[in-house]
Amino acid sequence: MSGKLIVVSNRIPTAATPSGGLVFALHETLRKTGGIWIGSDPEFQADPSDTLKEIGDQSTYQRLAFEMSETDYQTFYLGFANSVLWPVCHRRGDLVQMSRRFEEGYRRVNKRLARQIFEVAGPEDMIWVHDYHFFPLAADLRELGFEGKIGFFLHIPFPALGDMGALPPSANLAHWLADYDLVGLQTRSDVARCLEMFRSELGAELMHDGKIKYGERRVGVRSFPIGIDVEAFVATAEKSTNREEIAKDLSGELIIGVDRLDYSKGLPNRFRAFGRYLETRKDKERRPSLLQIAPPTREEVSAYRDIRFELEELAGRLNGENAELDWTPLRYIHRNIDRDVLAKLFRTARVGFVTPFADGMNLVAKEYIAAQDPEDPGVLVLSRMAGAAEDMTEALLVNPYDIEEMSEALAQALDMPLEERQARYTACMKRVRATDVGRWSENYLNALKDSRRDLSWSSFN
Ligand code: ADQ
């Protein structure tokens, strides 16, 4: 018996060899196994067709795009996915925007996509669905009669039961997820929350192999902490070209933050903590600077516009109060930066400042560690609320709501003796290596392959 791998994600790479950890890892996996990658077409169609559209020319696997109308984009993507599910999963129920149109759009796009996948999937194919845009996809595929293996991986935090109260009744996560063979989550805490949901919403039983039993179904619920392409990132950071250039422009001690501009990333408190550090530092001759790179995303959603304005105001005030003629303490850049420049900035920075209120994993924390010079490493200050903190316990862990604590952590990081920096770096780097993204996708697919023992999936051996 043989089947192919079908990967479904919201975005589909258009470059022949995509860069960036996750996308590159999935590309490498598909390159080896063959199969299909399905994702959304960036062009809107007034009347989305019911068939998938071939894009690019990949010799070992196919890329297929699903079409959306502008209304689908507004209601499915900006609406339900990013104005309901995203805030609920990031504990920001106050930012949820309710609309029946959003719910309808989400169901419409998922049902249409299920029909399109059903057209191209053979009975023995294995489908790997990524992220919150597609919670109901397995349920919709099962309804059409697909009986093969379907796995799900959630990149963002799994919501707590209490927070799920902010979802409309039509969004029944427990029912939707019970139709997958394997639910993959980032951390052990995510797994605990997911099991609690299955137990309380469906009365499902937890079996000793870690699966849940619900009627005749068995669903695996496990954590697969995602990581980066470690060797590639280390190699990029080590290349010395332009590094001196970058360092020259960034005189003084550098603290770096890199995030999509999102309210979950804790940027206002990060700015406040840096301001507090400047106020309280003993040696006023010391002129550290915070470089914050944060390209705006999802700007059509009002919560994202609000956070942008808030940050601009905070940044202006902080510089107004602290800058000197020859020193700008906070540099705030709204653009995407090339990965090789980013890697070098990480290596140059004495502190990686990563302070989300909630984050599935946070790859920036891992990239910062991987970019360090082992002989003279910088220090990672990391929010306890990031998935990455579950295992990277040797970072300086902070509470992202506690400005004072974060400002003290900055002082501690900037003054840390070499030996302690090296010890902390070595411990963190061990975790970064253990969760390499290549191994992550391999582990996930092996678990999915083994998830139902009555079928053999020899083509993936
Ligand atoms: P994100 O919320 O996007 O991912 P993160 O894990 O930090 O967060 O990944 C962001 C990636 O984009 C990193 O590789 C980073 O280097 C890059 N990036 C960010 N800003 C950039 C800029 N200005 N220029 C260039 N590159 C930039 C979601 C979840 C996370 C989870 C990942 C993967 O929210 O919690 O870790 O998916 O599962």
Task: Write b or e for each residue in 151-189: b if 16 or more Cβ atoms lie within 10 A of its Cβ, otherwise e.
Answer: bbbbbbbbbbeebbebbeeebbbbebbbbbbbbbbbbee
For ligand 1, atom 18, the nearest C-alpha belongs to: 259
Sign of CA dihedral 327, 378, 440, 187: negative
- Per the residue annotation, which of 72, 155, 181, 436 is the catalytic one? 155
Note the pLDDT tens digit of each residue in 289-336: 999 999 888 989 999 999 999 999 999 999 999 999 999 999 999 988
- pLDDT tens for the chain, 461 residues long, are 479 999 999 988 877 777 666 788 888 889 888 999 999 998 999 999 989 999 876 778 999 999 999 999 999 999 999 999 999 999 999 999 999 999 999 999 999 999 999 999 999 999 999 999 999 999 999 999 999 999 999 999 999 999 999 999 999 999 999 999 999 999 999 999 999 999 999 999 999 888 999 988 999 999 999 999 999 999 999 986 555 566 555 667 999 999 999 999 999 999 999 999 999 999 999 999 999 999 888 989 999 999 999 999 999 999 999 999 999 999 999 988 888 999 999 999 999 999 999 999 999 999 999 999 999 999 999 999 999 999 999 999 999 999 999 999 999 999 999 999 999 999 999 999 999 999 999 999 999 999 973 333 333 33
Q: Model confidence over 106-145: pLDDT tens digits?
A: 999 999 999 999 999 999 999 999 999 999 999 999 999 9
DSSP state of 404: H
Let me know if 208 is a catalytic residue.
Answer: no
Which tokens is 331 given? 């540099």
Number of other CB atoms surrounding residue 37 within 10 Å: 25
Atom 20 of ligand 1, residue of closest alpha carbon:
259
196 in Cβ contact with 161 (< 8 Å): yes
Terminal-residue alpha carbon distance, the chain = 12
Output the CA–CA distances (angstroms, integers) from residue 305 to 261, 311, 324, in the order listed.
Answer: 10, 10, 30
Q: Residue 262 CA: which ligand 1 atom is closest?
A: 2
| CA separation, residue 87 to residues 134, 341, 357 (Å) | 16, 31, 12
Distance from the CA of 325 to the center of ligand 1, in angstroms? 34
Q: Where are any strands of DSSP class E within 11-76?
A: 35-44, 53-55, 61-68
Atom of ligand 1 nearest to the CA of 293: 23
Ligand 1 nearest atom to the CA of residue 359, by list position: 35
ipTM above 0.90, yes or no: yes
The pLDDT score that the predictor gives to residue 28 is 85
Ligand 1: does its nearest atom lie under 6 Å from the Cβ of 258?
Answer: yes
Q: Is 229 near ligand 1, meaning CB less than 6 Å away?
A: no
Ligand 1 touching residue 361 (CB < 6 A)? yes
Ligand 1, pocket-test mutation among 131, 223, 260, 357, most atoms within 8 A of CB: 260
Active site residue 155: yes
Six-digit token pair at 368?
Answer: 């910062």
- Distance between CA 161 and CA 268 in Å, rounded? 28
C-beta of 103 in contact with ligand 1 (< 6 A): no
Confidence (pTM): 0.95
